Structure 1
């Protein structure tokens, strides 16, 4: 319904209610209008309705007029609150068509029947819509609704947005790389040492969508709606992009009703809900969409692996980005633990205290030499390795065993200790498979350096996160105490061991 028609309807409803008030000699205290907000969905916020409830509880009103009962509420629970108010406190609630007068027993009965019928119709409509959405997903068709960044509503690629999505994935896939907050800042056009280079700057997606809607409204001769100001991108929006399986080409479907989260099941975390929405066929294979993927499957999975890292799940400060080349990456030669930055030094308490500048210069010299060799491409793993697909299939099978065990527990076929044993066993196997997949996708996000015409120059120009990832790909670095009394740097105290690559 267009804005003009909506305005006419609202005026007609208002006039009818005003006439009833005049006929009964009632004074109109206030008017409560929730424009274009359905009374059907109990999850929707209805500010005017909530204000009306508060005014009634405060004693400011003792009668309510509405066009029809379903304009007030379609929730049987809410209706019972108004029924109690009419019986216990004398509230007068009258509809303009005279069908639901809660001051009489017949009116209350009719209201309850009408609310029950309305709720039943809502449930039937929701079931039809869910079946249609599930069918679209099984067919691999793009879901209806708000378009995601990088795609049209029909599933066609919006190239300039897709380029930003690819860059987001490539930057974030690097372990200990850029933070989600830094990606949001980069998309918003901010600069700084912690913000990645080369990330396209985009207006907020909310603003872009409203501009597109207004273009359609203008073509239909409808009144334009206010376009929101361009606000900075938020971390939650970027996280939604990184979690969305559609970018890897997976068809998704999430039922309206989901089982309650099990706190003992790490796979039940909200951070994995996007992965759980991937639709699978009878053979437990992911259903692929008919649209063009924006990122490779292995890159999407590498991003999920980083998002699922325990340090990210338990981190409360939101800062998991390293600020120094070797912090947490280089190891102590005495205890094999990671060294930390301490002022201008790398430190392992009680074992090693070394000059950060000297160590970094030595390690970078070795990496530059390695990148300059002509056999660089020979050490890179094949990103199309069929083993990656096998791993995904095996992980799905192990997760299926956990789900079956949970069903058996609910049916009282197995005991709680059996469920825990199965979970522990299968989750351990899943962890091992995911670790293997991370090794096979080791170069994800490093193509700007390893595929460059001049890898050494590309390495020099790269962000700190990429440099750390390149170092970690090629070598292990262990620091030993520097000889006492010697001022010059001794390379023998830094053991740089090449990593074996197939």
Structure 2
């Protein structure tokens, strides 16, 4: 029997399909989508399903599936919606003959997405029925109506965006809070939540002192503090992400960094990430403190994404002496030695990578040993950044002058040259200055040159620090740490695998 002739006319194929389907009920898949505005005005999933089922019952269609999405049509394309992709797979597999939705805007509000929907309808001969009126995308009139409706929906979306922008501008100009949910450290009305605000204030000073953000996050978790991220049951529906959105409320170093860098904490209003001016809520810290931490966090290194998480002491701090690229840790074989290897420079791939390598344990030990030897050589008594050296002589001289002035005020009062109010005011001013001088003298005594450093105690102190704090100390202490290629050829029998000469270091002026 000869093959059936191919019918080129799409209109004739649709007519033949409609004629052949009169004996059997059309199979309908119901597509539902929940609106992000949550008004509940006919857009709830249950109401949509009831209206679509009523339409299918009246037309005699068989409902073969009900598929829903809880994603905004303005922020998520059709291709990004898992529910819609399931509908497309059913159509392509021939498991459904038409799509039923509550309204066209439940499917799309985008002209670009509408064209892909029209293409699907024309290629597969699929109809789109809505509870508010049928739209046959396989006909020119139906496509015209759909495009008009989509254009109206797009225009409404744009007007809504303009209204929101104007409202945000007005709130910023007035300095009012514009928070979707309560930020950590604040109530929704802009007043401070004292226990959280105190923790944030302490975190700023800890960050200035060099404490790692991971340590701050751990302390907050242990204290029972949680982020302001909503729980999974309260989170708003959103488009799929590469990483599943599963808020736990636990603090991480990333969350702490974002919080400390927020201008909100110094009572500054922002718009699209830019500081716009003073706000009317209470500040947690002053502007000088915020900017000091902002500079510190902005300057802190960020690992290149090509070699992932920093889990070793020198990863990203030590560099290759050949290409100046970062050294990253890897492992030789499944059970082999951990080594630092040159990762090259992503911005200059032509330079290559792997120019040098060195054992992780050997390199870490060498660097810590040199750090403590430098402390012994310079008389340094702490790993932490030291304040500038203080000359106590002028302070002691001024301390004596204040004592003399206070004695003279007492004599003048005794002689009747000044009244009691003048005596109290004069001595109060001098006492305040005296307290500042004595505090500076105490500080000068704290950071003095040590005659002898307990090396074992220094090693123990360094080991007790977490990795982030240790790395912060290395960044403060070393101008550079460079690894030298070992050279070609096999090492002699009995020769160590690694030599100290393979590591070159230089200390910063603060540690010299």
Normalised by the shorter chain, which TM-score bucket? 0.5 to 0.7
- Compute the displacement of 1:239 (Å): 2.8
> What is the rounded CA distance, in whole Å, between the counterparts of 1:310 and 1:467 in structure 2?
14
What does residue 226 of structure 2 align with?
A: 203
What does residue 295 of structure 1 align with?
A: 285
What does residue 80 of structure 1 align with?
A: 115
CA RMSD, Structure 1 to Structure 2 (Å):
5.1
> What is the rounded CA distance, in whole Å, between the counterparts of 2:98 and 2:441 in structure 1?
74
Q: How does 1:106-117 map to 2 (within 5 A)?
A: 106-117=141-152
Q: How does 1:46-57 map to 2 (within 5 A)?
A: 46-57=81-92
What does residue 42 of structure 1 align with?
A: 76
Pair 1:161–1:62, CA change in 2 (3 A): farther
What does residue 102 of structure 2 align with?
A: 67
Instruction: Tell whether the 8 Å contact from 2:181 to 2:228 is kept in structure 1 after alignment.
Output: no
- Compute the displacement of 1:62 (Å): 2.8
Per-residue CA shift, 1:223-247, capped at 9, x if unaligned? Answer: xxxxx88453234322321321111
- Compute the displacement of 1:119 (Å): 0.5
- Compute the displacement of 1:12 (Å): 3.6
What does residue 233 of structure 1 align with?
A: 251
What does residue 151 of structure 1 align with?
A: 186
- Compute the displacement of 1:303 (Å): 2.2
Q: SS of the counterpart of 1:28?
A: strand
Instruction: Report which of the two structures shows the higher radius of gyration computed on alpha carbons.
Output: 2
Asked if 1:183 corresponds to 2:206, the answer is: no
Q: With CA pairs under 8 Å and 6+ residues apart, which has the higher RCO, 1 or 2?
A: 1
> What is the rounded CA distance, in whole Å, between the counterparts of 2:206 and 2:82 in structure 1?
41
Q: Among residues 13, 16, 22, which one is paired with 2:51 in the alignment? A: 16
Q: How does 1:462-477 map to 2 (within 5 A)?
A: none
> What is the rounded CA distance, in whole Å, between the counterparts of 2:61 and 2:203 in structure 1?
61
What does residue 123 of structure 1 align with?
A: 158
> What is the rounded CA distance, in whole Å, between the counterparts of 2:442 and 2:194 in structure 1?
22
Q: SS of the counterpart of 2:73?
A: coil
Q: SS of the counterpart of 2:100?
A: strand
Q: SS of the counterpart of 1:308?
A: helix
Q: Could you state the TM-score of these two structures normalised by the residue count of structure 2? A: 0.52
Instruction: Tell whether the 8 Å contact from 1:344 to 1:357 is kept in structure 2 after alignment.
Output: no
Pair 1:164–1:48, CA change in 2 (3 A): farther
What does residue 253 of structure 1 align with?
A: 271
> What is the rounded CA distance, in whole Å, between the counterparts of 2:44 and 2:377 in structure 1?
76
**Count of residues in correspondence between the two structures:** 336
- Compute the displacement of 1:452 (Å): 9.1
Pair 1:73–1:360, CA change in 2 (3 A): same
Q: SS of the counterpart of 1:15?
A: helix
> What is the rounded CA distance, in whole Å, between the counterparts of 2:508 and 2:47 in structure 1?
81
What does residue 278 of structure 1 align with?
A: 275
Q: SS of the counterpart of 1:65?
A: strand
> What is the rounded CA distance, in whole Å, between the counterparts of 2:176 and 2:302 in structure 1?
33
Gaps of 5+ in 2: 1-34, 237-245, 319-359, 396-439, 448-460, 480-506
Instruction: Tell whether the 8 Å contact from 1:344 to 1:356 is kept in structure 2 after alignment.
Output: no
The structure richer in strand per residue is 2
Q: Could you state the TM-score of these two structures normalised by the residue count of structure 1? A: 0.53
Q: SS of the counterpart of 2:69?
A: coil
What does residue 416 of structure 1 align with?
A: none
> What is the rounded CA distance, in whole Å, between the counterparts of 1:360 and 1:472 in structure 2?
15
Per-residue CA shift, 1:208-237, capped at 9, x if unaligned? Answer: 797899xxxxxxxxxxxxxx8845323432
- Compute the displacement of 1:86 (Å): 1.9
Per-residue CA shift, 1:169-218, capped at 9, x if unaligned? Answer: 222334xx3444443333333xxxxxxxxxx44134325797899xxxxx
Q: SS of the counterpart of 2:62?
A: coil
Instruction: Tell whether the 8 Å contact from 1:40 to 1:122 is kept in structure 2 after alignment.
Output: yes
> What is the rounded CA distance, in whole Å, between the counterparts of 1:12 and 1:367 in structure 2?
68
- Compute the displacement of 1:157 (Å): 1.4
- Compute the displacement of 1:308 (Å): 2.7
> What is the rounded CA distance, in whole Å, between the counterparts of 2:442 and 2:157 in structure 1?
55
> What is the rounded CA distance, in whole Å, between the counterparts of 1:184 and 1:238 in structure 2?
6
